[in-house]
Chain A
Amino acid sequence: METLLDKARAWVGKAANAPTTARDPVNLPMIRRWCEAMGDTNPIYTDEAAAKAAGHPGIVAPPAMLDVWTMAPYRPGGRTAEQGFEVLNLFDEAGYGGVVATNVTQEYGRYLRLGDLVTMSTLVSDVSDEKKTGLGTGHFVTLAYEFTNQDGEFLGRETFRVLKFKPNIPDTKPQSDTKEKSDGTPEFPHPRPAITHDNAFYWEGLNQRKLLFQSCEGRLRHPPGPMDPVSGSLDFEIVEASGRGTIHSFVVMHQPRLPGFEYPLPVVLVELEEGVRIVANMIDAKPEDVEIGRAVMADFVEVEPDYVLPAFRFA
């Protein structure tokens, strides 16, 4: 039985479709638009005098526009059957619906000049074996274009390679934050805070290893909020706390156990000497040594790159 690959390879060396002639000759408005879009300011493409000074008979087109002139008209829904390539249609029909351009090379005969009317002829030059790629399984198809003008003069050629592929089926397992480390053990991201307009300064301060609090008329407050509850003011200063404090209360977590934490896990509520309280973990502290009233000093732990949390040590 004739396979898909047999059918596709029968095209190799043959014209892929009928030659295409440009709808407009090489012209200055198109060149100008293309140069603007590309940011190409070379004056030989838009200025007669500059072109002549550079040894050209007149304005020339940028060489990379070689395949622009014969491009298929824009059409909602894609190309018509006549504009398409039957060799590629074979793959679509067989379920290789994906297409992505993978390589383009161009070779130039001469600069295109205003008035050249370009015709493109296309040969199928190669069809690869089936390949497994990151996008999916498919075949690379190479097309060879040759460009001539209304006088049959050779202008240039291009090879254009596409991958026709069956897309890989996306992983339909439930989304999870679980990642795999190289040794196969799961790696869990540390729980992250929700950052809002009101509390961003607090978390940014921690990244700079500072314990920052809002202060209004000398009153510090925590957790952060937009309004000073006493004065009703929306204005506030940000002040840095010393980090000195005492344990106001604490717990020792046994359940539930989050990945990345060591259990039993002490969690402390510390009253800082400035009068505000915050919750944090301890560093170098055995759970049995944690008690209400003990003096502690703030430190900082970078749990992930650019993610710093406060933590306390016994003072």
Chain B
Amino acid sequence: MTGTLANKAAIVGIGATEFSKESGRSELRLAVEAITAALEDAGIDRSEVDGLCTYTMDNNPEIEVFRNIGGKQLKFFSRIHYGGGAACAPVMQAAMAVATGVADVVVCYRAMNERSQYRFGSGYTPPPVPNAESAHYGYYVPFGLVSPASWVAMAAQRYMHETGATSEDFGRVAVACRRHAATNPYAWFYQKPITLDDHQASRWIVEPLHLLDCCQESDGAQALVVTSVERAKSLRQTPAIIRAAAQGAADDQQMMTSYYRPDISRLSEMDLVAQQLYDQAGIGPDAIRTAVLYDHFSPFVLPQIEAFGFAKPGQAKDFIREEGIELGGRLPVNTNGGQLGEAYIHGMNGIAEGVRQVRGTSVNQVKGDGHVLVTAGTGVPTSGLILGNA
């Protein structure tokens, strides 16, 4: 089945700031810089932007961004909730807006001083007025289970128990990402690969997660320009056609703590995204040549490999060992270095790498004409994209 969203829109521009630990400027300025770079990359004038889409966690209001870039008429603006689970969904919304004629040029952005101004890893602070969202954290935070790493670790421990995967299997994800980052000049960990021994020797953050299972915290911004495939034909870059875009929440979904579903070692929401993406694009895992799999914490890369059918449930560890997720393997994963190696821009930098793979401009280019898969935050309501050539 080919869905109506398939092949209607394309990512035609990408732009980013440098990725750092202290940008030294406002998040709004980071957003404006990245958006300007993305529009220049696309060859589209700032005044043509008529749609903006970001995450609810982004601190830069669409209207502030819009007035700063000299926008004229903003016809579409929307935001997606659930942290990094949003990542691919602004692009999905942009594609929907373009496909329905609601807007012509939609810019997706994520800009943050997540390292220098605030840190997600330091623990949850509740808002003053109780609501369903803050009530949720009450079942975890009073017990010291306060950080994203800790919420993921609970599922990872059960995954190890169910599948026989080990800490070294998680480590192989980190090693692959760091190998790819080592050749990416834009990556924070450029020229800094690690070994499996480094991973095993790194300190515990939350058992079973070592330090090197955890992504960085970064300052920086990434923007993407989405327009129609027709418009894309006359633009300067090779368009990354949006073959499929989907969101998913399922199976007694919780925000990072889906501990009440029958099998907590599965990512049921990603199973749902995978099914929709393949249906929409009319392809299966064999047609995917490389993937950007959300890697805020390495353990969740394994059930994603299973969700997308590259390995049977519980066998991602074997796929990683035998088929390979590094450059040269069956499925090179996170060729930009991922969030473990390049930067933590809440997954939007991964979409930009997906676009580079379609264009053929990645520093770790994967040969072939297959499609590129990009996923968003794991353990949360999530999203995904399949990108391809025209």
Contacts and interface: CB of A to CB of B under 8 A. Distances in A.
Nearest to A223: B139
Contacts of A281: 143-144
A303 B154 CA distance: 23
A199 interface: yes
Given A193-B135, A251-B206, A277-B260, A267 B130 contact: no
B146 A256 contact: yes
Interface string A193-218: 11110110001000000000000000
A196 B135 contact: yes
Contacts of B142: 190-193, 303, 309
A255 B144 CA distance: 10
Contacts of B208: 251
Nearest to A278: B139
Given A190-B142, A193-B142, A196-B132, A254 B157 contact: no
A252 B138 contact: no
Interface in B18-65: none
B206 A193 contact: no
A278 B139 CA distance: 8
Interface in A234-278: 248-256, 258, 261, 264-265, 267, 269, 276-278
Given A249-B154, A280-B143, A254 B207 contact: yes
Nearest to A303: B142
A182 to B, nearest CB: 26
Contacts, number: 117
B135 A267 contact: no
B192 interface: no
Contacts of B205: 254-255
B123 A309 contact: no
B145 A222 contact: no
A269 B153 contact: no
Interface string A269-294: 10000001111110000010000100
Given A222-B260, A256-B122, A258-B146, A251 B139 contact: no
B148 to A, nearest CB: 11
A190 B138 CA distance: 12
Interface of A: 190-196, 198-199, 203, 222-223, 248-256, 258, 261, 264-265, 267, 269, 276-281, 287, 292, 303, 309
10 contacts: A192-B126, A192-B138, A193-B139, A223-B139, A249-B155, A258-B123, A264-B204, A265-B144, A279-B140, A280-B143
